[in-house]
């Protein structure tokens, strides 16, 4: 498979391309999947998502990656490692968005572990964060299962709406490798 960023036992994380538009549409327009974002992705939003990730790949070789089941080739969702600025401080964020039928099967944890390993051992970062809405209990559980701890919160302005996000932090020294 071309454009592979990382592989795990069950997953392939690969770069998103323009050819993934229809799959991303399924994910990003599912109200159950995107409930924490509190808005529907339009066709233009999906295109902007693709463009933003392609730009992140060019600049950082990071961004959201398509999460594919190894063997079956089924697209399960997306997982991310990418830079972000919060209150003028640069962090590297781990993220995940899965199709609803793949929730609670360990895929988010597996993808996040691989991205954390990459962040610490390839990029030599000392910490990563997870930005999670307080009501997103499933995402919080993933971060907590990886030993990330809440270290603060911030308000993100999303489409002129102020949204509280918790900052979960995981330090390299806290990871059992």
Q: Taking the domains of the chain in order of start, what are their residue ranges?
A: 4-174
Give the position of tokens 């610490």: 120
b/e sequence 67-91, b meaning 16+ C-beta within 10 Å: bbeeeeeebbbbbbbbeeebeeeeb
Q: Note the pLDDT of residue 37.
A: 87
The CATH code of domain 4-174 reads 3.40.630.30
Nearest CA to 131 among 89, 169, 90?
169
Average pLDDT per block of 10 residues along the chain, 177 residues long: 88 97 96 88 96 97 97 96 93 97 97 97 96 95 96 89 94 71
Beta partners for 80?
A: 64, 95
Q: Note the pLDDT of residue 1.
A: 46
Nearest CA to 107 among 150, 75, 136, 147?
75
Q: Note the pLDDT of residue 83.
A: 96
Q: Note the pLDDT of residue 170.
A: 96
Q: Note the pLDDT of residue 141.
A: 96
């Amino acid at each position: 498979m071309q454009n592979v960023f990382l592989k795990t036992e069950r997953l392939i994380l690969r770069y998103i391309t323009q050819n993934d538009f229809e799959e991303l549409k399924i994910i990003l327009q599912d109200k159950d999947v995107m409930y924490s974002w509190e808005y529907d992705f339009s066709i233009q939003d999906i295109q902007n998502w693709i463009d933003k990730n392609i730009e992140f790949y060019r600049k950082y070789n990071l961004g959201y990656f398509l999460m594919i089941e190894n063997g079956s080739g089924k697209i399960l969702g997306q997982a991310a490692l990418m830079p972000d600025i919060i209150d003028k401080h640069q962090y590297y964020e781990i993220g995940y968005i899965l199709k609803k039928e793949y929730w609670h099967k360990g895929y988010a944890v597996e993808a996040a572990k691989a991205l954390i390993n990459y962040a610490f051992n390839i990029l030599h970062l000392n910490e990563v964060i997870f930005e999670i809405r307080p009501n997103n209990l499933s995402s919080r559980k993933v971060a907590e299962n990886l030993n990330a701890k809440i270290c603060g919160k911030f308000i993100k302005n999303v489409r002129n709406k102020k949204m509280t996000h918790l900052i979960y932090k995981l330090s390299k020294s806290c990871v059992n490798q």
